Amino acid sequence: MPSEFELIRKYFDRPAPSAALGVGDDAALLRPNAGMELAVSTDLLLEGRHFRVGADARRLGHKSLAVNLSDMAAMGAAPRWATLALSLPSADEAWLEGFARGFFALAARFEVDLIGGDTVRGPAGSPIGVCVTIMGEVPRGLALYRAGAAPGDDIWVSGELGGAALGLARCGNAAAAQRLDEPEPRVELGERLRGIASAAIDVSDGFAQDLGHILERSGVGAVVEYERLPRFAGADARQVLAGGDDYELVFTARQERRAEIELLSKELGLGLARVGSIQKGEAGLQVLDGERRPIAIERGFDHFPP
């Protein structure tokens, strides 16, 4: 069986041209560009909680990086570097090969370099743990905060909602399963929204809950029209409003920005739907049906529900 160091060398030691020093020393060395702020975010994925026991390793490699790239997108940051910490109950080389393949394929698409990490063996039978930390750059003052939404702003959603939740229901819908297992982070959209969006977040826990974070942080309310929400074909209202793991962007923008955003949608070949508007006061979120009657909304996912 290969040693810890052989495993690291074989599967995770790749050239990191964007770093002064990558994998192999006690720490990596980075050279952030002048005038940039460093955006840093971490996500931990645990077997049995975030992914099924026996989940495909390549897809997991993709997803573990994708969810972090999505956080960069939601900040308007360009992803640059990542670290990877793995806890594995055994050194399964077929698993490591698949995981690395999925991880590096996505990293290459966005020119993200893996610059370090940690590899530990968990006790026999322990769940696989995958923790990725991502670092990105955003020009000083241009990051997209959750706190920037103002009354009168439009609310926009990229792509479609509810696909990942539909996939989780294991209904045999291959497109929905793909949305769950291999989400597409909206990195380019996030970067293009600098200076356009007033606030942004990515949909990891469910549309209603994630938009709720913008509302809370911004001290505003919102009205959303259900019929305007971009819905994944076959997804029900609960999956659209409260399903997690879609990794679309929800953002707000002044009404004067509508034409610009519509143009951006065409340029990126990515649907951007205007679904509602920000209201004065901390009235929370109201979702209206076609007859403008309020729809009851379930909360999204919470690891420690009250």
Closest to 79 measured CA to CA, from 153, 163, 186? 186
At 26 the three-state DSSP class reads coil
Q: How many CB atoms lie within 10 A of CB 193?
A: 26
Collect all residues with Cβ–Cβ distance below 8 Å to 88 and sequence separation of at least 6.
95, 96, 119, 120, 121, 122, 128
Site for ligand ADP contains 18 (CB under 6 A): no
Site for Mg ion contains 289 (CB under 5 A): no
From ligand ADP, Mg ion, none, which one binds at residue 200 (CB under 5 to 8 Å depending on kind)?
Answer: none
CB-nearer residue toward ligand ADP: 51 or 207: 51
Q: Which two tokens stand for residue 124?
A: 């026999």
From ligand ADP, Mg ion, none, which one binds at residue 116 (CB under 5 to 8 Å depending on kind)?
Answer: ligand ADP
From Mg ion, ligand ADP, none, which one binds at residue 117 (CB under 5 to 8 Å depending on kind)?
Answer: ligand ADP
Closest to 285 measured CA to CA, from 204, 217, 212? 212
The full DSSP string for 111-160 is TPEEEEEEEEEPPTTPPPEEEEEEEEEEETT----GGG--TT-EEEEES-
CB-nearer residue toward ligand ADP: 131 or 149: 131
For ligand ADP, which stretch binds (CB under 6 A), given 68-76, 113-121, 193-201, 294-302? 113-121
Q: Shortest Cβ distance from residue 75 to ligand ADP (Å)? A: 23
Site for ligand ADP contains 114 (CB under 6 A): yes
Residue from 46, 89, 91, 119 in contact with ligand ADP (CB under 6 A): 119
CB-nearer residue toward ligand ADP: 21 or 147: 21
Q: Shortest Cβ distance from residue 235 to ligand ADP (Å)? A: 35
Distance CA(200)–CA(253), nearest Å, equals 9
Residue from 118, 236, 282, 289 in contact with Mg ion (CB under 5 A): 118
For Mg ion, which stretch binds (CB under 5 A), given 116-124, 158-166, 174-182, 203-211? 116-124
Site for ligand ADP contains 112 (CB under 6 A): no
For Mg ion, which stretch binds (CB under 5 A), given 108-116, 118-126, 161-169, 203-211? 118-126
At 93 the three-state DSSP class reads helix
Residue from 84, 164, 197, 273 in contact with ligand ADP (CB under 6 A): 84
Torsion-angle region of 155 (φ positive above 0: left; ψ -120 to 50: alpha; else: beta): beta
From ligand ADP, Mg ion, none, which one binds at residue 89 (CB under 5 to 8 Å depending on kind)?
Answer: none
CB-hemisphere CA count at 13 Å for 37?
13
Q: Given the structure tokens 């990891």, which residue do they identify?
A: 204
Q: How many CB atoms lie within 10 A of CB 120?
A: 10
Q: Shortest Cβ distance from residue 4 to Mg ion (Å)? A: 8
CB-nearer residue toward ligand ADP: 90 or 255: 90
Distance CA(117)–CA(133), nearest Å, equals 9
Between the CA of residue 111 and those of 105, 108, 248, what are the distances in Å? Answer: 10, 5, 21
From ligand ADP, Mg ion, none, which one binds at residue 69 (CB under 5 to 8 Å depending on kind)?
Answer: none
Interface residues toward ligand ADP, by CB under 6 A: 8, 12, 23-26, 84, 86, 114, 116-119
Interface residues toward Mg ion, by CB under 5 A: 118
